[in-house]
Structure 1
Amino acid sequence: MTTPIDDVSIGGEMIRLGQFLKFAGLLDSGGDAKEVVIDGFVSVNGEVERRRGRQLRDGDLVTFEGRTVRVRP
């Protein structure tokens, strides 16, 4: 069964991964975001991403704990 993908509008062209995790409601705080990214629990476009400062753009897919969200401007 395919996991549904939610679109999250960021209101601009780019957003950092750590900010996006909070903005999309995947995590409650920046401290949580830092830890899960560094520990390798977040993937971007199907690959583990360990840089919370990674710039996300329209169409990027972010997955955490089985939930996938797509970045939209």
Structure 2
Amino acid sequence: MQDISFELRGEYIELDKLLKATGLADSGGHARMMITEGQVRVDGQAESRKTAKIRAGQRVQLQGQPAIFVLAPQG
């Protein structure tokens, strides 16, 4: 599995929106369900806040899926 690089468009992205934007969740509801079930880790720690603000430099991991590396906006 190859890791995913995700470039922010602003200061942050909410966790559920990140999972949907990267295609790891089929919908926002699916993303929120995975977070609630404890399947998501941010920087190695379990994250249960659906709208946690994910910023540049953070790493998000979903069980059995590639890691997402969040990058600062270019430009």
| Alignment TM-score > 0.5, same fold | yes
Report % sequence identity: 34
Deviation string, structure 1 residues 5-51 (Cα, Å, up to 9, x no partner): 32111212101000000011111100101111011000000011011
Which one has the bigger strand percentage?
1
Match of 1:63 in 2: 61
Partner residue in 1 for 2:32? 34
Give TM-score scaled by structure 1 length: 0.87
Distance in 1 separating the partners of 2:4 and 2:18: 13
Structure 1 unaligned regions, length at least 5: none
> 1:72: Cα distance to partner?
1.2
Measure the CA separation in 2 of the matches of 1:41 and 1:61.
14
The separation in 2 between residues aligned to 1:63 and 1:35, in whole angstroms, is: 15
Report the AA paired with residue 45 of structure 1.
D
CA distance in structure 2 between the partners assigned to 1:44 and 1:13 by the alignment: 17
Query: Aligned residue for 1:23?
Result: 21
SS in 1 for 2:70: strand
Gaps of 5+ in 2: none
Superposed CA RMSD in Å reads 1.3
What stretches of structure 1 move > 3 A for 4+ residues in a row?
A: none
- Matched residues, number: 71
Among 18, 29, 44, the residue aligned to 1:46: 44
Name the TM-score, length of structure 2 as normaliser.
0.85
